[in-house]
Each structure stands twice: as C-alpha cells, then as structure tokens.
Amino acid sequence: MVYCASNKEHTEVVLLPVPEGSQPGDRVFCEGFEGPAEASVNTKRYNRVADKLQTNEDGVPVYEGAVWRTEKGEIPPTRIKNGNVA
C-alpha cells in the first residue's frame, strides 16, 4: 500500500517517505498498536481509523499520536504539517 500526506484543503499531496533500506512489503506499524499483520486491507477497519491517520506539527505520520515505523525505523517527516494521511 502507498500512503500520501495532504494538507487539510487537499491542495498539496506528497508520498510519504520511507526509512532507508525499506523494501516493498515492509510492515508499517505504530508503537502500542502492533497487532498481527493482515493478509489484505480490511476496509471496515481502515474506515474506522482513517480519520486518525495524520501528520503532526513536525510532518511526522502518526496514529493517535504514535509515530509510524517499520523494522528499519521511523517513517521520516514530510513537508505536510498537521495534515491528513491516506
């Protein structure tokens, strides 16, 4: 899955960067929300959390304040501050 950040007006959209060494298929998770991986996107579950996928004041992707990460490290910040992620 590819994630993008956008400003609140949806007039600017950028791809989220990835930690160096990341590979397609690397799992993205947030500390405190490390449940089991799913084989495919559960649309109902995604729709329940979609509005909580954001970038913080530093442009870092977060879910309920928890930073997104992979086994390679935290997802780097984007230039979109206090935006939406989808």
The pLDDT value given to residue 33 = 86
Cα–Cα distance measured from residue 29 to residue 13, given in angstroms and rounded to the nearest whole number: 22
Phi, psi (degrees; rounded to nearest 5) at 63: -125, 115
* Residue 45 parent element (H or E): helix 43-49
The pLDDT value given to residue 1 = 73
**What are the tens digits of pLDDT across the range 21-75?**
999 988 899 988 878 877 787 888 888 889 999 999 999 999 999 999 999 999 9
Please check whether the domain covering 4-85 is classified as CATH 2.40.50.140.
yes
* Contact in structure between 54 and 85 (CB atoms under 8 Å): yes
